[in-house]
Amino acid sequence: MASFRLSDGFLLGAATAATQIEGGDSNNNWADWASRGLISDGSSPVRANDHYIRWREDVELMKSMGLKVYRMGLEWSRIEPEQGRFDEAAMAHYREEIEAVIAAGMKPLLTLHHFSNPLWFEKMGAFEHDDSVAVFLRFAKAVIRGLGDIVSEYITINEPNVYATFGYFYGAWPPGHKSFKRAMRVMSRLAECHIRAYEMIHQVRSNMGYDDSKVSFAHHMRVFDPASPGNPIHKIAAKITARMFQDIVDAAMMTGDFKLPLRRPRDIGRGRYYDFIGINYYTRSTVKNFGDGVGAGVPINDLGWEIYPEGLIRCADSMYKKYQAPIYITENGTCDNNDRFRSRYIFEHLQQIAASDLPIERYYHWCFCDNFEWIEGEKARFGLVHIDFETQKRTPKRSAEFYRRLIEEHGVDEELYSEFAADQVYSFNSSSSGGE
């Protein structure tokens, strides 16, 4: 049936990240990476969407779409431009923006770390440095002290597995290292940062008189399936990849269970370091030997990622079995440069959620607007709102109108489906790729 209703209390909104939309800051590792010509289309986050200036217009647009929740980030390098020097104007800026978000009817979920570091932190060795946990925590504490009265919900760290794997194992992202050992060390550190920040946020806000803190991290999850289901090598490879990239990471972050090759930091015990399960879900990988592949003949988006709606529930289910907590889909969306199939993608993923018994409570669509998509630059468009990066003109796409109606109706009926999604078609992967 081409319709569904969402459960009462289910909240829909959108997500962004500071570095991907703000523009104007050259004091972070991604601006530095871009200045060295390492972004595939030559663009830079110093331009991005100019959101740091145009945020009022963006908040208005979000309001007009009826978003109920908004996940946003802070740029650490703006708040602490030099080690130990905190910029009050930057804090005041974020405060004003968050107050406007709340006044527009959205509950904010604030991300403290989303892939970007101040340049001084990157230069000292980022999360490989022995002092990095203390340094990160001091920043995090300044944020909670400054904004804890208006923000109760936090993501400490976005996708630690992606940050560590791309920056320290594949070397495609800053700082460009290719070492398994270093990637694992960084992953362990990020888990320690999360656990200590989890405790700190609860503590600091409780000292401020609040007992409603909700803290977790945003886990990048995929389904890893064997390329040929009957092939024992593919099966083992899929299991190992899932374990190294995903399972050991959530065990460490969520419960302080550091399994090899992660290393348990001193003074960290087992515990429950989450108030909800945060999942960023995009795609499935099919595996032959190690890593990432895309099956032959499967529907794909404009970056070649498989579109696999069932995977969202498979990921949520595996996390729920382990951790039993409310589930927030902290990111889900697709690269669809011409908005040809985004409405269908949204429909199919939310339909999965509507049909599931799992306690999925929130959905943050990635992304509110086209933006600076890391190594892909400006050419991979994930937004509900189109951005002309030259003129900075914002234009809501048809998928934005679909999403607005879906939120308003708290579901999709046959009429809405046929108006927006019924005639949308995906492209298909011509041959099997990757997975080696």
Provide the binding-site residues for ligand FCB, judged by CB under 6 A: 17, 20, 158-159, 162, 220, 280, 331, 366, 373-374, 382
- Pairs from 414-417 (Cβ < 8 Å, separation ≥ 24): 414/1, 414/2, 414/3, 416/3, 417/2, 417/3, 417/347
* CB 89, min distance to ligand FCB, A: 26
CA pair distance 62, 52, nearest whole angstrom: 16
Work out the end-to-end distance of the chain between its first and last CA atoms, rounded to an integer number of angstroms: 38
Minimum Å gap between C-beta 1 and ligand FCB is 30
Nearest to 97 by CA among 87, 116, 110: 110
Neighbours of 18 (CB within 10 A): 25
Beta bridge partners of 15: 71
Q: Which is nearer to ligand FCB, 227 or 367 (CB)?
A: 367
The three-class DSSP label of residue 380 is: coil
Smallest distance, Å, CB 48 to ligand FCB? 12
Instruction: Give the residue with the Cβ less far from ligand FCB, 220 or 342.
Output: 220
- Residue 210 to residue 213: CA distance in whole angstroms: 7
How far apart (Å, rounded) are the C-alpha atoms in residues 218 and 246? Answer: 12
Which among 140, 156, 255 is positioned nearest to 204, based on CA atoms? Answer: 140
CB nearer to ligand FCB: give 114 or 205: 114
Residue closer to ligand FCB (CB basis): 334 or 424: 334
CB 425, min distance to ligand FCB, A: 22
State the nearest-atom distance from the C-beta of 17 to ligand FCB, in Å: 5
Rounded distance between C-alpha atoms, residue 72 and residue 18, angstroms: 7
Closer residue to ligand FCB in complex, CB, 46/412: 46
Cβ atoms within 10 A of the Cβ of 266, count? 6
Q: For ligand FCB, which is the closer residue by CB, 246 or 280? A: 280
Q: Which is nearer to ligand FCB, 114 or 202 (CB)?
A: 114
**Smallest gap, in angstroms, from Cβ of residue 276 to ligand FCB?**
17
Q: How far is CA 283 from the centre of its chain?
A: 13
Q: Which of 121/366 has CB closer to ligand FCB? A: 366
Nearer to ligand FCB, 27 or 158 (CB): 158
Question: Is the Cβ–Cβ distance between 320 and 359 less than 8 Å?
Answer: yes
Q: How far is the CB of 373 from ligand FCB (least distance, A)?
A: 5
Cβ burial of 178 (10 Å; 0-12, 13-18, 19+) is exposed
| Cα atoms in the Cβ-side hemisphere of radius 13 Å centred on 62 | 33
We find the least distance from the C-beta atom of residue 264 to ligand FCB, in angstroms, to be 26
Which single residue is written with the structure tokens 């320690």? 192
Give the Cα separation of 95 and 98 in Å (integer): 5
Report, in Å, the least distance between residue 375 CB and ligand FCB: 9
